[in-house]
Structure 1
Amino acid sequence: MKTQVAIVGAGPAGLLLGHLLRAAGIDCIIVERQTQAYVESRIRAGVLETVTTDLLHRLGIDKGLNASGLLEEGFNLADGAHTIRIDITALTGKHVTVYGQTEVTRDLIAAAPARGLEIVWEAGAVTLDDLTGSPSVGYTRDGVAHRIEADFIAGCDGFHGPSRKAVPFDQGRHYEREYPFGWLGILADVPPCHPELIYSNSDDGFALASMRSPTRSRYYIQVPLSERLEDWPEDRLWDELERRFAPLASRPVVRGPAIEMSIAPLRSFVSESMRHGRLFLAGDAAHIVPPTGAKGLNLAASDVAYLSDALIAFYSAGDETGLNAYPARALARIWKAERFSWSLTKLMHRFPEDGPFERRMQMAELDYLAGSRAMQTAIAENYVGLPL
């Protein structure tokens, strides 16, 4: 097969890029190693910046977003006993939208056939070849070998995919921070305990109360990396959530059977090698942020906004300026989002190496934040998303 742009990975980054290119009349094919059912069932984040929602509106893939997205004008930081509301709309004139990444992915997949966006599911043994010459993507399906020849390859297949590994390690700099804890999360069809998100740092560690809809809640607590899911029966987790949020929330924590429970480790990662020949990386293939700042999906969206603009300029006018500038443009925004996510993670979590002094510093910063409009504005600007 031949196409103009071969996209590896059918997550939000690859799907958004594919739709943006097809809207401009550019041929592309997405290759995904998992099944469609698996991709559509993955539970991920749900706070969308206007950068992300603007792309969905621009593409006209916004029926679900318009019907079910929850506009949030603020969120809350807490010290375990008191909440500090960050009024993001009053401070920035913007808002965020709560709409699950799972729903975004399903919407993009459902819209693909009518827009001529081909997705190859269950592609095994994916390889990326001749990236500095005539690039191609090889894969197997049902025991048959296939190859897609392309002008460019977009690697949108995450940290563990073949795209990141296809870039020579010594070509650029790589930065990583692994955190000594994870998030234990539960998703349940119960009404949220508060109308806005609450990020809480108590003596027991971090906890988050969030929602996916008025009838579906998502909760997390910080746990050591040594913890296992079998150590946390549902009743134990609900007991802990009730204890932590009773002093903070406007309503009681309502219990219900778990739709999903998981423990996710936290990591910060940036590869400054976002291009190798005719391969371009986007999304988690190039960077990972801890979920504290809700930046993962939104950074993927800004990456593909930059990359699609560059590819459209190349095919419409033969202009390679955008392609050459893509890594620098994307990284400027990536590092600012990494800084925000790192700083909020440091402020709201208990690190095992920290002692009473570090705890006092956290409390002092939260106390200062409660009375400083300037500091609240800085947090609000980063939370709603910096401009492209």
Structure 2
Amino acid sequence: MAKIVPFKAVRPTRDKVSLVTSRSYDEYTPAELASQLDYNPFSFLHILNPAYVNLQKIATATRFKGVQLKYQEFKDEDVFKKENSPVFFLYEIQSKNNSFTGIIAGTSIEDYKNNVIKKHEDTLAYRVELFKDYLHQTGFNTEPVLITYPQNNELQAWIDKRKQKRPLYLFSTPNKDKHILWRIKEEDEIQWIQEQFEKAGNIYIADGHHRSASAEMLYDQDKESGNANLDYFMSFLICETNLKIYEYNRIINDLNGLTKQAFLKALEKDFVVENKQQELWKPKQKYQYGMYLDGDFYALSLKDTNFKSVMEALDAQILYTKVLNPLLGIGDLRNDERIDYIPGSKPITEIKKQVDSGDFEVGFMLYPASINEIKELADNDLIMPPKSTYIEPKFRSGLVIYEI
């Protein structure tokens, strides 16, 4: 039984929404950032990087204060407006290859603590603490946690019907994605949506484990303040059948002292190894792996697929236990400097490029994990290996803001 609530969102005015919203700050190259910050005075990136004008590095606490001041400046200049009453939003993202639709709402800290909201990834304490401080000092969040819910035909029928109505926003972005936002303010519709999630049982974090953990930490720190907004965190709720789950591929910068021939021979213990030469080959099913080494692509097919648990059977875990750790000496997947990760949303030619450059020796392509694997891990309180999944959709910063 999941509890979701409407909230008094802050959002850009309709005439400025396409100028304000941005991709996640970390996704921009330095040149792209400079272009946006130099030529678009309405970009939300000005709020996220308030020291840009002075081209200076500042202390974390000072930067967070600058974010809060810049955000208030945008509000004072009427770039943003606040809803008069609590609302939900229905949000659709249309890209070249995919279309995603979900509900923007507040989700319950109590549900998070009681494991009604399930997790499948571990978090880094310093990142949770850092984002908690960010929320505390800035007083807002514009990065919702991506949460998935089981298929609900009634809810899907309502979504399909609601999308026929005139949206609040409809705009395109430079990458040619289309964004459509509908505001749900009618009390009867809000109550009906809440009832659908009350019947849903467990819901699952797809992306945003650090953000949800930071919201919990902030609640524990400041709950005596009486601020009811701390009881919830903003989420983008999307049906599990509408997620796009990519793998995270691995590139390693050496063969741990092995020759190419010795490494290929060692792989044959657990895999059928087939040289695909120049074919851009990637896995077509579970228990298959692609590999790029010394100018050739290889297909690796696992010989023994009998496993006792979902964790042991996870492709990312198999690669670690059969190859990365025993053969290549990779211990800590999160912190070992010899390994790097490329999301499966990028073409495998990116792996070829990195290896051919000489910076890396070998690359591995994985088959994406399924939503059922993710849910089974979460239901059994198990944690996926780091960088196992890259999940879309990704939310636009500055589109909807949850004030704390």
Q: Normalised by the shorter chain, which TM-score bucket?
A: under 0.3
**Higher RCO (CA < 8 A, seq sep 6+):** 2
Q: Which of 1 and 2 has greater Rg?
A: 2
